[in-house]
Structure 1
Amino acid sequence: MTNHAGEMYHYHVWANQTILGRIGELPTSVLHQEVNSSYPTIAHALSHIYAVDTMWYKVLSGMGMQEALQEGMPLNAQILPSIEEYTQAFAELAERLKQWLQGQNDLEQTILLDNPFAGIRETRLSEMVLHLVNHGTYHRGNISTMLRQLGHASTMNDYALYWYQGLA
């Protein structure tokens, strides 16, 4: 049986590495240059993706959502000074989540998710992984727009490119 959620998570890791790599090619000032967009800087957008990925990792690992939010969301405000530090942080978190995925026999298993913003819901582990991926895709789009507003081209990180590179 194909593990679609796991495959999508691997795409998410690749897409994050791809956009981080592109930012690393640009002048270092781009990371913290202010722009009128969804986030004041690209660093803020990266911190948000990282914070949410961390929060979902904690939930997937068995922590209650309220506690995971309390632990993960302060990372939103933790703005790192360099793209290398973001790259390292994302790589370390990706490794922890990959290890978690390898230990799962049934991503269709449900848990009772108590979301303080939306209420209680039976939720499959695979749904949470797919949400994490979708959330990252949305905000990588924000980052691409921010790069263009700052006068720089972004880079393609679509799922279809991931297929055609033979990674899926």
Structure 2
Amino acid sequence: MSSTTHPDAFPNVAAVKLTWSEIEKEQTEFVDQVTNELLEKMLPFRTTQVKLVHLMQHLANHSTYHRGQVALMMRQLGAKPVATDFHVFLVEGRRETAAAH
């Protein structure tokens, strides 16, 4: 089990936020350097080869599954999860952008 999948790796919310901010930084750096040519590159995926563009679509799609899982777990613990709908994300992003200006 890797250190980031072991339960002891996240003893509190601050540890989760720190790790998540590092992951977001790495993802942003990767996406910033992706070219159209790179999107078409075939990469190994399990027992086959898949274009990077399709792997990136899969990543975005699969993350919705896990957001739903986390929202359900929060409800089971009596907490109110944040909205997981994409349109809510867009509206909140516009609010944050407007507040920053």
Give the structure-1-normalised TM-score.
0.48
Indicate the structure (1 or 2) with the bigger Cα radius of gyration: 2
Structure 1, residues 115-134: CA drift from partner, whole Å, max 9, x if none?
Answer: 1xxx112x221222222222
Structure 1, residues 17-51: CA drift from partner, whole Å, max 9, x if none?
Answer: xxxxxxxxxxxxxxxxxxxxxxxxxxxxxxxxxxx
Out of 14, 18, 22, the position equivalent to 1:88 is: 18
Give the corresponding residue for 2:6. 77
How many residues in Structure 1 have an aligned counterpart in Structure 2? 91
Give the corresponding residue for 2:86. 159
Shift of 1:141: 0.6
Q: In the aligned structure 1, how far is the partner of 2:45 from the partner of 2:62?
A: 19
RMSD (Å), alpha carbons? 2.0
Q: In the aligned structure 2, how far is the partner of 1:154 from the partner of 1:114?
A: 33
Q: In the aligned structure 2, how far is the partner of 1:83 from the partner of 1:152?
A: 14
Q: In the aligned structure 2, how far is the partner of 1:100 from the partner of 1:128?
A: 14
Gap regions ≥5 residues in structure 1? 1-72
Q: How does 1:112-127 map to 2 (within 5 A)?
A: 112-115=43-46, 119-121=47-49, 123-127=50-54
Give the structure-2-normalised TM-score.
0.75
Gap regions ≥5 residues in structure 2? 97-101
The one of the two structures with greater contact order (alpha-carbon pairs below 8 A, sep at least 6) is: 1
